[in-house]
Amino acid sequence: MKALPIAPAHIAWDEDGTPRAPAFGDVYHPRSGAQAQARAVFLAGNGLPRRWAGRGDFTIAETGFGLGHNLLATWAAWRDDPARPARLHFVSIDAHPPRAQDLARAHRDQPHQALAELLLRAWPAPVCGLHRLDFEAGALRLLLAFGDVQELLPQLVFAADAFYLDGFAPERNPRMWDARVLKALGRRAAPGATAATWSVARSVRDGLSGAGFVCERVEAAGDKRQTLRAQHMPRDRRRAASPAPDLADAADAPRRAIVVGAALAGACSAAALAALGFEVTVLERRVPQPGDNGSRLAGIFHATVHAEDSLHARVLRAGALHSTRLLAGLDPKRVPNDGSGLLRVERELDLAAMQARLDRLGLPKDFVQALDPLAASARAGVAITLPAWFYPSGGWVAPVALVMQRLSRPGVHCHYGSDVHALRREGRQWLALDEAGRVLARAPDVVLANAEQANALLASIGAPPFPLARERGQVSGFDGPVPLRCALAGDGYALPLPGGGLLCGATRQQDDDEPQLRDAEHDANFARLQRLCGLQAPADPAARHGRVGWRVYTSDRLPLAGPLPALQTAPGTRLDQARLLPREGGVHLACAFGSRGLTLAPLLAELVAARIAGTPLPLEQSLVDAVDPGRFVVRAARAAERDAALARAAADASLATAVRSRCA
């Protein structure tokens, strides 16, 4: 979904403390209390906690997050249940999320204060799209979808075991209960899914029936005389009289995966998989330090604002928000970082044009602000002569420390000095082989997080290469006190190093394999630094330091994150959309992050892991497609179709000419 303004909820508080939405003419919950309703209608109505007992992953989807009472009641029930699922995924959509102060007020004198406090601390800026907030060390995952249900639901990829239908009353808010919305929920029902709501309105029952649910009215206590429970039972299953599968059996058997490469992408992929219950073998050819690429000391991460809110801008926005949340949860002593904002100097637009763009895109100021040079200079501590974008969800982080932190997660087993030369399939397993053909590791899933070297491993299984290019780059730095206070970008970038000093960069050369530092590139980096913020590097060349690395790009400058398309497709297979392509089971890519690894790798590693595990995807479908390796197959198929159409047109034209000349 392109950027759309998110209007936070306008909440009126009645004298008895009940929150009300004047725009909808309805209350957020019955006067008898939100928690009682959550337990009686939504949890009990979905057979919870009984139905989730012993499960590895259990997914609940809610329409209408509101003030999060249902989440908190469910979270508390999950905490209290010794048979709780290993991971609880809670997907919730809301077009008008509450402001933080309303959220705080709603839970002030309520049970579950401690949980509400955690939610409040993680509460995101009102930016449209998806925000994944992890609690309980990643065992409880809230995927907040900010946007209108009719626009956003088609973009969500999940299979829910239980639905909480909690929009305002259908007669006051028909948009939320529209038959198409209920059908879209039905398409996202896992086998055996149930749904519950307090509304027994005819339209809701009809809509749910049309979406494959069998509804039952249940006598209720409290404000409502009856509530609704429903079981997803699509017609084909009803005809076959096959009962819903028993989901209580799917205990969390340890799953295994291999990750090739232990730098940023590999470490993030391994951690994301381990958090989903996988035992992960990471194979890294280097010794002993991974992540040592380019900006080893620190690198920047941030979103970007694009006039048309391009796919790139949307992926970067999601990535920057995710990286900021990830870093906020890490110990800065262990992973030095500053996620408190980045300034990006604007060289083309003036302040008024920048503000107009923000207004048009509806991006809130806790996500991005347009600052005049004075305000930008005050924030940065150095002289900035142009206006600048300020991204609160941005900053810098020490990549090696981040990599080491990600690799230290239980379930991740890293083997250095393990150079993978080939992959081989053996039944349902993939084998990673060394140069001598010895098996380094075996698992049903393998993630190629080894940058451009992914193509060499794909060649070993007969897969065509992806269009990857490698670009050399050098960063430069010096020690000593600097006035720069935050990460700064524009033509080049600069950041204050932890413990003093500064890092700036970076140069770019195509097809250049030279690993040595070059003085001329230090000069170029320091000249750019001076243009950016007036700071000068020390004259003494001995005071300078730097690093060389390589960025890897695809031809469309978006990463490769997702499963490998099938090597062979049956005739007639649809190749026109990445999401429909058949896949080469078990091989996945997480590479080609270009110069934006710190912004993109943490989120896209979560995407890759979620696609492997079958858990809710943290990105909208259109963005999943944008980074899907399958997009190159789709483009090739379209180009082949165009060529064939042109050839047919040319053949028709020559036939017509031949016929004309015969007739003449």
Ligand X SMILES: C[S@@+](CC[C@H](N)C(=O)[O-])C[C@H]1O[C@@H](n2cnc3c(N)ncnc32)[C@H](O)[C@@H]1O
Residues in contact with ligand FAD by CB under 6 A are 260-266, 283-286, 290, 293-295, 299-301, 419-420, 449-451, 453, 473-475, 505-506, 549-551, 591, 593, 595-599
| 3 state SS for 445-509 | EEEECCHHHHHHHHHHCCCCCCCEEEEEEEEEEECCCCCCCCEEEECEEEEECCCCCEEEECCCE
Tell me which of ligand FAD, ligand X, none is bound by residue 506, counting a contact when its beta carbon lies within the kind-specific cut-off of 5 to 8 angstroms: ligand FAD
Residue 149 touches ligand X, criterion: CB under 6 A: yes
Residue 162 touches ligand X, criterion: CB under 6 A: no
The answer to whether 247 and 191 are in contact (CB under 8 A) is: yes
- From the CB of 187, what's the least distance to ligand X, in Å? 18
For ligand FAD, give the closer residue by CB, 474 or 615: 474
CA distance 319 to 314: 9
Stretch that binds ligand X, among 63-71, 197-205, 417-425, 623-631 (CB under 6 A): 63-71
For ligand X, give the closer residue by CB, 37 or 615: 37
| Options 176, 228, 412, 529; binder of ligand X; rule CB under 6 A | 176
- From the CB of 191, what's the least distance to ligand FAD, in Å? 36
DSSP letters spanning 641-660: HHHHHHHHHHHHHHHHHHHH
- From the CB of 165, what's the least distance to ligand FAD, in Å? 41
CA distance 496 to 481: 9
For ligand X, give the closer residue by CB, 186 or 399: 186
Residue 285 touches ligand X, criterion: CB under 6 A: no
CA distance 46 to 52: 10
Tell me which of ligand X, ligand FAD, none is bound by residue 41, counting a contact when its beta carbon lies within the kind-specific cut-off of 5 to 8 angstroms: none
- DSSP type of residue 89: E
- From the CB of 47, what's the least distance to ligand X, in Å? 19
Residue 131 touches ligand X, criterion: CB under 6 A: no
CA distance 469 to 474: 17
| Options 39, 96, 344, 544; binder of ligand X; rule CB under 6 A | 96
Q: Which two tokens stand for residue 486?
A: 């935050």
Q: How many CA atoms lie within 13 A of 287 on its CB side?
A: 5
Tell me which of ligand FAD, ligand X, none is bound by residue 168, counting a contact when its beta carbon lies within the kind-specific cut-off of 5 to 8 angstroms: ligand X
At residue 164's C-alpha, the angle toward residues 161 and 169, to 5°, is 155
The residue with its CB nearest to ligand X is 66
Question: Of the candidates 264, 263, 269, 268, which has an alpha carbon nearest to the alpha carbon of residue 285?
Answer: 263
The answer to whether 601 and 552 are in contact (CB under 8 A) is: no
Q: Contacts with ligand X: how many residues (CB under 6 A)? A: 23
How do strand 429-433 and strand 439-443 relate by DSSP bridges? antiparallel
For ligand X, give the closer residue by CB, 69 or 596: 69
Tell me which of ligand X, ligand FAD, none is bound by residue 473, counting a contact when its beta carbon lies within the kind-specific cut-off of 5 to 8 angstroms: ligand FAD
- From the CB of 262, what's the least distance to ligand FAD, in Å? 6
CA distance 48 to 61: 14
At residue 113's C-alpha, the angle toward residues 109 and 114, to 5°, is 165
Question: Of the candidates 131, 98, 130, which has an alpha carbon nearest to the alpha carbon of residue 28?
Answer: 98
Tell me which of ligand FAD, ligand X, none is bound by residue 616, counting a contact when its beta carbon lies within the kind-specific cut-off of 5 to 8 angstroms: none
- From the CB of 286, what's the least distance to ligand FAD, in Å? 4
* Helices first, then strands: H and E counts in the chain: 19, 32
For ligand FAD, give the closer residue by CB, 387 or 473: 473
- From the CB of 391, what's the least distance to ligand X, in Å? 27
Task: Show the binding pattern over residues 27-56: x = contacts ligand X (CB under 6 A), - = does not.
Answer: -x-----x----------------------
| 3 state SS for 598-615 | HHHHHHHHHHHHHHHHCC
Task: Show the binding pattern over residues 634-663: x = contacts ligand X (CB under 6 A), - = does not.
Answer: ------------------------------
| Strand locations in 355-478 (E) | 369-371, 388-391, 395-397, 412-416, 422-426, 429-433, 439-443, 445-448, 468-478
Residue 166 touches ligand X, criterion: CB under 6 A: yes
**Applying CB under 6 A, which residues contact ligand X?**
9, 28, 34, 62, 64-70, 93-96, 148-149, 166-168, 173, 175-176
